[in-house]
Amino acid sequence: MLWDFLDMIVLSFPSLAHEYIRQKSSPDHGARRRADPRRASHGGRSGQPAPDFTLTDIDGHTHTLSSYKGKLVVLEWVNPECPIVQKHYNKSGNIPGLQKTYTAQGVVWLSINSAAPGKQGDFDPAQVKAWMQKVGAAPTAYFRDQTGAVGHLYGAKTTPHIFIINLEGTLVYAGGIDSIASSDPADIARATNYVTAAMADLAAGRPVAMSNTKPYGCSVKY
């Protein structure tokens, strides 16, 4: 609960957020927190086959990742109460715009919330639908991964944390939404958007130039 509180307070102030995000992303940050064997991850690096999973969306429909082979897939870790998620949703429409652009092109966009029951952002289906309507979110599906199984499978660390899977089922991008780790929506226009860059490379038949980047945002609330 303490880390949830710190995320909410510190990330709400742009003047403090950059340093807070930088320190949370440092290599030794995890050592300062209680060890949790569930934090071990195996499939979050590009160039590897995307780990398969099955989840049920908020409408009760079951989705298996491998069933989307032959399509581009974006996995986006999300938490509606995270200030960095709000930067890219409520305050700018950045991620909803990406969702609409790419799903219109046949891309499958899966939003995953790995918050444990009762943790920050663990909205029930009705709350999720209300939030999605409010912010204009348009993913293919939204999942509640309350056990954290899929989040740990991919090594999802922050909200947002983005993974892109190519037509063959291989991870070709893993990392942040863009290049400026801040809570200020004004930075979006100046940043390199790693999703659009990766999609442009894939559309041109090129390897993704920036295939692994550092994600930034609130910690996933496992």
Sheet holding 161-165, edge to edge: 141-144, 108-113, 73-77, 161-165, 171-175
Average pLDDT over every residue of 31-57? 67
Is residue 6 over pLDDT 70?
A: no
Q: In this predicted model, what pLDDT tens digit does every residue of 175-208 receive, in sequence order?
A: 999 999 999 999 999 999 999 999 999 999 999 9
Q: What residue numbers bound the domain in which 78 lies?
A: 2-219
Average pLDDT over every residue of 36-61? 78
Is residue 89 over pLDDT 70?
A: yes
Burial of residue 205 (number of CB atoms within 10 Å: 0-12, 13-18, 19+): exposed
Number of separate domains in the chain = 1
> The domain spanning residue 179 has which CATH number?
3.40.30.10
pLDDT at 196: 98
